[in-house]
Amino acid sequence: MAEVLLDVRDLCRSFRRTKDVFVKAVDGVSFQIYEGEVFGLVGESGSGKSTVARCVMNIVRPQTGHILYKGVDVWDRAQFRANRRMLQTDRQIIFQDSASSLDPRMRAADIIAEPMAVNHIVPPRGTLRAEAEFQMRYVGLAPSYLDRYPPELSGGQRQRVAIARALAMEPSLLVADEPISALDVSMQAQIINLFRHLQDEHGFTFLFIAHDLSVVRYLCDRMGVLYRGKLVELARTEELFDAPLHPYTKALLSAIPIPDRRRERARPLYRFDEAGFDCRGTFAEVRPGHFVLQREEAGG
Ligand SMILES: Nc1ncnc2c1ncn2[C@@H]1O[C@H](COP(=O)(O)OP(=O)(O)OP(=O)(O)O)[C@@H](O)[C@H]1O
Ligand SMILES: [Mg+2]
């Protein structure tokens, strides 16, 4: 049995909208990611996916709940301090928009090597430059790009630089927050295949956040569906696609086009009643490993 690498427990985070209006961005979310697994998190825009990722990465502080990484409570000040180096090297994040997450005034080589330099990591390949070159080749970029600045790179090239920078730290956990949605389709496929390779060959653990369900289906072992800050369903990817149980998941999946036109036409389009969504309820295991947010029994 694989070990739990990341344990998200009852995570809550609200943001202030106006003076006295708060939005519950993440509302009691719990899930675990096992070592070597690709865990997908899906949900419409604003459902709280990035907030979960940011809490996991010590970027946004949860109001309540815990995030345990390798058993370390990452938002506990003393535990964070005692494990700072491990937490800063072992978890890496790749953002959707590398144009804004990469410093435009730094060359690709320096961008890739920076986290190693900051963390005083001795480059396994001799110099930081050699390390940057190795990682660059690894993600499929020619070393001739090493001296380019981000604005001189295409979106896909920039995203590879961001991935190379993360990989240089030899992390155990990669959090990828919609890493491909800014790219064109052929570039998306290349990056997805790179992720697949990383997982197959190197056993990386991923928290993979996406809008695109077909990508999640291809890449993820298990997945969770977020709706308005609530996890409404969680299961093995296959099972979730074959037998979704929550009305929101059903609606989400029924909106994916099927390549076969006859089957496409025969399929009922499932509508989800947003107004009827009851955010109360219990997240119950209805089949082994398959969890659904269920309504509280009336009068129960
Ligand atoms: N720093 C912030 N300040 C105020 N509100 C925020 C902040 N970050 C997120 N929110 C709000 O929290 C909710 C969840 O946002 P979040 O970015 O986590 O959603 P998301 O699922 O990642 O959406 P998208 O698919 O568009 O990236 C949204 O209503 C958003 O407006
Ligand atoms: Mg987001």
Report how far residue 262's alpha carbon sits from residue 66's, in angstroms, rounded to the nearest whole number: 47
Q: Which two tokens stand for residue 236?
A: 């093995």
Ligand having the closest approach to the CA of 230: 1
38 within 8 A of 206, measured Cβ to Cβ: yes
What is the CA(57)–ligand 2 centre distance, in A? 14
Report how far residue 93's alpha carbon sits from residue 206's, in angstroms, rounded to the nearest whole number: 10
- Ligand 1: residue whose CA is nearest its atom 6: 15
- Ligand 1: residue whose CA is nearest its atom 2: 15
pLDDT tens per residue, range 134-189 = 999 988 899 999 999 999 998 889 999 999 999 999 899 999 999 888 788 888 88
pLDDT tens per residue, range 25-40 = 999 999 999 999 999 9
pLDDT tens per residue, range 201-236 = 888 899 999 988 888 999 999 999 999 999 999 999
What is the CA(13)–ligand 2 centre distance, in A? 14
What is the CA(216)–ligand 1 centre distance, in A? 21
What is the phi/psi pair of residue 83, to 5°? -125, 20
Which of 11, 15, 226, 279 to mutate to test ligand 1, by most ligand atoms within 8 A of the CB atom? 15
Does the CB atom of residue 43 touch ligand 1 within 6 A? yes
Query: Quick one: residue 281, left, alpha or beta (phi over 0 = left, psi -120 to 50 = alpha)?
Result: left
Q: Looking at ligand 1, which atom is closest to the CA of residue 52?
A: 18
DSSP-assigned beta bridge partners for residue 72: 69
Report how far residue 10's alpha carbon sits from residue 87's, in angstroms, rounded to the nearest whole number: 21
pLDDT at residue 41 tops 90: yes
- Ligand 1: residue whose CA is nearest its atom 8: 51
What domains appear along the chain, each with residue ranges and CATH number? 4-294 (3.40.50.300)
For residue 297, the model assigns a pLDDT of 61
What is the CA(11)–ligand 1 centre distance, in A? 15
Average pLDDT of 1-30? Answer: 94
Q: What is the mean pLDDT of the chain?
A: 91
pLDDT tens per residue, range 249-294 = 999 988 777 677 777 677 666 777 777 777 778 899 999 999 999 9
pLDDT tens per residue, range 116-130 = 999 899 988 999 999
pTM metric for this prediction: 0.92
Does the CB atom of residue 48 touch ligand 1 within 6 A? yes
For residue 299, the model assigns a pLDDT of 46
Does the CB atom of residue 49 touch ligand 1 within 6 A? yes
Angle between helices 155-168 and 108-118 (to 10 degrees): 20
Does the CB atom of residue 53 touch ligand 1 within 6 A? no
C-alpha pair distances (Å), 59 with each of 51, 53, 117: 9, 8, 21
For residue 256, the model assigns a pLDDT of 73
For residue 268, the model assigns a pLDDT of 65
